[in-house]
Amino acid sequence: MEFKGIAHKFGDDVNTDYIISGRYKFKTLDMKELARHVMEDLDPDFYSKVNKGDFIVAGKNFGCGSSREQAPLAILNADISAVLAKSFARIFYRNCINTGLALIECDTDQINEGDELEVDVEKGVIRNLTQQRDIPVKPLPRFMLKILSDGGLVEHFKKHGTFNFD
Amino acid sequence: MGMTITEKILAYHAGKERVEPGELINCRLDVVLANDITAPVAITEFEKLGLNEVFDREKVVLVPDHFTPNKDIKSAEQARYVREFARKYGIINYFEIGRMGIEHCLLPQEGLVLPGDLVIGADSHTCTYGALGAFATGVGSTDMAAGMATGEAWFKVPETIKFVYYGKMPRWLSGKDLILYTIGDIGVDGARYMAMEFTGEAIRELSMDNRFTMANMAIEAGGKNGIIEPDEITLAYVKQRAKRPYRLFQSDPDARYAEVREYNVSRLEPQVAFPHLPENTRPVSEAQGITIDQVVIGSCTNGRLEDLQIAAGIMKGKKVHPEIRVIVIPGTQEIYLEALRQGLVEVFIEAGAAVSTPTCGPCLGGHMGILAKGEKALATTNRNFVGRMGHPESEVYLASPAVAAASAVLGRIAAPWEVIK
């Protein structure tokens, strides 16, 4: 899982209601439609700014709040390749792995809005091409990487016929 | 080295003698829960797996509570999807409108969650059941789908923070105030990935309804679970409801904690969380005078009988302030009926409040009390994020039922002793 794109920066404690507001998230199971409203209350133009492969880059506790998977699914369907944050709320973290949205914990102070990044999730490498430096990464546990690289928990099950993670 | 109650429950369900924080384990599940918002996504994922049955028709629990009674055609379609799944797979614990309630009020009431259980729910406030001495945590719909299929889920064993509450609870102080104060102290990610164990003499004196409120908001500090060791109060609650055996776990005296925090409750004031995070807490004396447009008394946090009794005790013989509206939402049909029998509903209606059928409704900005631009609400709910109860430029203050009822009468944020001298 290697990605290249532009960083879109956000602050601390971005909750799931910011990621996709309750006004939309129950109305439809069409994730492409939901994706149009992703991060809308923080940045009304966000969806139109994103190009395929771009990154959401945030501070601490990204994804706090509700357990609804509409949050990572809306991000995935907005063509964001990965979320980089100082830390993640735990249900959101789990949901990303399970739905196949790549996420990485790292010091995001080393990334500015608009920086071009190259990210290798499996190897745990973030290269800030704009600032010409590598950012150290806390790698994902091996079995989570396996679920992620299979495309999420359901695809993982279909491939292996079990949820045994060894 | 001993183990905490959280570690013991996880070890038991993983079939292990002991577990260590940080360890990844696979656990058997006693209950797998979802609601009308999270179940549809879980069902879609479940059906991709191509299985003919769920792992246990009794252990899968489905409660349409968020957008019910259905507020529009789309929510009706989602509810129908869940209902049809429940029929197709013979789900025994599916709760229909009129026989249901807010999931986290309903499951303990029905004896579906018991001490020592391991529960996952596709709803972040699943942590409520920790009040019974169970390990309960919120997950997403895909984990729910996997849980329905296999009856198992993986966990990383969390470290535990121990919160010790000592001293005597002042008259108007409640479990809501203790948990708001705690979140204010450690912040909305203060217990991220961790277990929160609530203990101490003040907790031992707390009623079950107050304990549910505390465990319910563990997630608002980022906690994986909130938990209270079972005691006589737990057993008195559980005995009349349990239809199967259960296990009582206690933390060992030499259990290891990442941190121990102590609070003296005897001088604590009722708390109010200001917009837009539950950690923005202040004593009610610093919030008095803030005008509001709406009061909501209800939710999985504070929609239980004792919450309604306290609110009615303050509102009895009084009127809702002419410039505001008050919405009271009993947590379950049983609570609603008991509130009727005890004359509480009469108190609310005579005061000029609206009383609704059980629903999550306004708490998540769903229906039954959405705020317009610039409006302010004081609610007994659990989150006050931007736009949570409606327009992105509306505001929510969080507080206890006592503060909510006093505010309803005075039309501004008020302390209960301003109304009941």
| In a shared domain, residues B193 and B113 | yes
Q: Which residue matches tokens 């604590």?
A: B268
CATH 3.50.50.60 fits A2-160, yes or no: no
Instruction: Give the up-direction half-sphere exposure of residue B412: CA atoms within 13 A in the CB hemisphere.
Output: 8
Average per-residue pLDDT for chain A: 91
Read off the pLDDT band of A28 (50, 70, 90).
Answer: low
d(CA B78, CA B43): 11
Helix (H, G, I), strand (E, B) or coil at B25: strand
Q: Could B222 and A60 be called an inter-chain contact, meaning their C-beta atoms sit closer than 8 Å?
A: no
CB atoms < 10 A from the CB of B143, how many? 27
Region A54-83 average pLDDT:
95
| Contact between B384 and B276 (Cβ < 8 Å) | yes
Instruction: Please provide residue B109's backbone torsions phi and psi, each rounded to the nearest 5 degrees.
Output: -55, -40
CA distance B313 to B335: 16
pLDDT at A24: 74
pLDDT at A1 over 90: no
Mean pLDDT of A125-152: 92
Q: How many CB atoms sit inside 10 A of residue B317's CB?
A: 7
pTM for this predicted structure = 0.95
Residue A138 binned pLDDT confidence (cut-offs 50, 70, 90): confident
The position carrying tokens 């303050």 is B314
Outline where A54-151 has alpha helix (H): 70-77, 90-99, 142-149
Distance from CA of B332 to the nearest CA of A (A): 21
Q: What angle do CA A39, A45, A49 make, to 5 degrees?
A: 95
Give the contacts of B28 (CB within 8 A, at least 6 positions apart).
Answer: B13, B14, B15, B118, B151, B152
Q: Do A22 and B192 touch (CB under 8 A)?
A: no
Segment B232-235 long-range contacts (CB within 8 Å, at least 24 positions apart): B233/B204, B233/B206, B233/B207, B233/B208, B234/B115, B234/B131, B234/B132, B234/B133, B234/B208
Tell me how far apart the alpha carbons of residues A97 and A144 are, in angstroms, rounded to a whole number: 6
The domain of B287 spans 270-418
DSSP assignment, residue A118?
Answer: E
Whether B188 and A29 lie within 8 Å, measured CB to CB = no
Of chain B residues 1-40, which have a CB less than 8 A from chain A? 24, 26, 37-38, 40
Check whether A32 has a pLDDT greater than 90. Answer: no
User: B127: Cβ–Cβ under 8 A, 6 or more apart, which residues?
Assistant: B136, B137, B138, B215, B216, B218, B219, B223, B224, B225, B226
Q: Which of B212, B240, B262 is the last residue of a domain?
A: B262
- Token representation of residue B328: 């009271």
Q: A44 at the B interface (CB within 8 A)? A: no
Interface contact A65-B66, CB threshold 8 A = no
Size of interface A-B (CB pairs under 8 A): 133
Residue A68: pLDDT band by 50, 70, 90 thresholds?
A: confident
Residue A29, Cβ neighbours under 10 Å: how many? 16
Q: Does B154 touch chain A (CB under 8 A)?
A: yes
| Together in a domain, B248 and B372 | no
Q: Which of B243, B262, B281 is the last residue of a domain?
A: B262
The domain that holds B221 is classified in CATH as: 3.30.499.10
Positions in chain B whose pLDDT score sits under 70: none
Q: Given this model, what pLDDT does residue A26 score?
A: 60
Which pLDDT score is estimated for B243?
A: 97
Q: Of the candidates B262, B287, B305, which is a domain's last residue? A: B262
pLDDT in the model for residue B108: 98
Same-domain status, B125 and B184: yes
Residue B242 sits in the same domain as residue B325: no
| Segment 73-92 of chain A within 8 Å of chain B by CB | 73, 87, 89-91
| B249 within 8 A of B8, measured Cβ to Cβ | yes
Q: Residue A8: which residues within 8 A CB-CB, separation 6 or more?
A: A43, A46, A49, A50, A54, A55, A56, A57, A113
Distance CA B32, CA B58 (A): 10
Chain B residues in contact with A75 by the CB 8 A cut-off are: none
Chain A positions in Cβ-Cβ contact with residue B387 (cut-off 8 Å): 17, 21-23, 41
Quick one: pLDDT at residue B205?
A: 97
Do residues A70 and A23 make contact, with C-beta atoms less than 8 angstroms apart?
no
For residue range A74-85, list pLDDT tens digits in order.
999 999 999 999
pLDDT of residue B414: 98
Q: Flag whether residue B384 sits within 8 Å of chain A, measured between CB atoms.
A: no
Residue B283 and residue B256 share a domain: no
Put simply, the answer to whether B188 touches A95 (Cβ < 8 Å) is no
ipTM of the modeled complex: 0.88
The rounded radius of gyration (Å) of the Cα atoms in chain B is 20
Q: Where exactly are the structural domains of chain A?
A: 2-160
> Residue A139: which pLDDT band, with cuts at 50, 70 and 90?
confident
Tokens 């709910």 -> residue: B381
- How many angstroms separate the Cα of B125 from the Cα of each of A144, B96, B169, B369, B393? 24, 20, 25, 21, 25
Say how many domains are in chain B. 2
Residues B266, B398: contact at Cβ < 8 Å? no
Question: What local confidence, expressed as pLDDT, does residue B209 receive?
Answer: 98
Chain A closest CA to B42's CA: distance in Å?
A: 9
SS3 for B138? strand
- Tell me how far apart the alpha carbons of residues A71 and A50 are, in angstroms, rounded to a whole number: 16
The answer to whether B35 and A154 have CB atoms below 8 angstroms apart is no
Out of A37-51, A137-151, B316-330, least confident range: A137-151
Q: Where are the beta strands (DSSP E) in B122-231?
A: 135-138, 152-156, 160-166, 195-199, 225-227
Whether A29 and B40 lie within 8 Å, measured CB to CB: yes
CB contact under 8 A, B222 and A64: yes
Q: Is A102 helix (H, G, I), strand (E, B) or coil?
A: strand
Bridge-based pairing of strands A102-106 and A82-85 is parallel
pLDDT grade for A54, boundaries at 50, 70 and 90: very high
> Are residues B349 and B290 part of one domain?
yes
Q: DSSP letter string over B276-296?
A: T-TT-EEEGGGTTT-B-SEEE
Q: Is residue B216 within 8 Å of B125, Cβ to Cβ? A: yes
Grouping H, G, I as helix, E, B as strand and the rest as coil, residue B264 is: strand
Distance CA B74, CA B365 (A): 16
Strand-pairing partners, residue B397, are B378
Domain co-membership, B252 together with B333: no
Q: Name the residue among A67, A143, A157 with its Cβ closest to that of B124.
A: A67
pLDDT reported for residue B1: 87
Name every chain B residue with its beta carbon within 8 A of the beta carbon of A25: 37
Distance from CA of A158 to the nearest CA of B (A): 6
The full DSSP string for B295-342 is EEE-HHHH-SHHHHHHHHHHHTT----TT-EEEE--SBHHHHHHHHHT
Mean pLDDT score, A103-108:
95
CB contacts under 8 A, A 129-148 vs B, are 141, 143
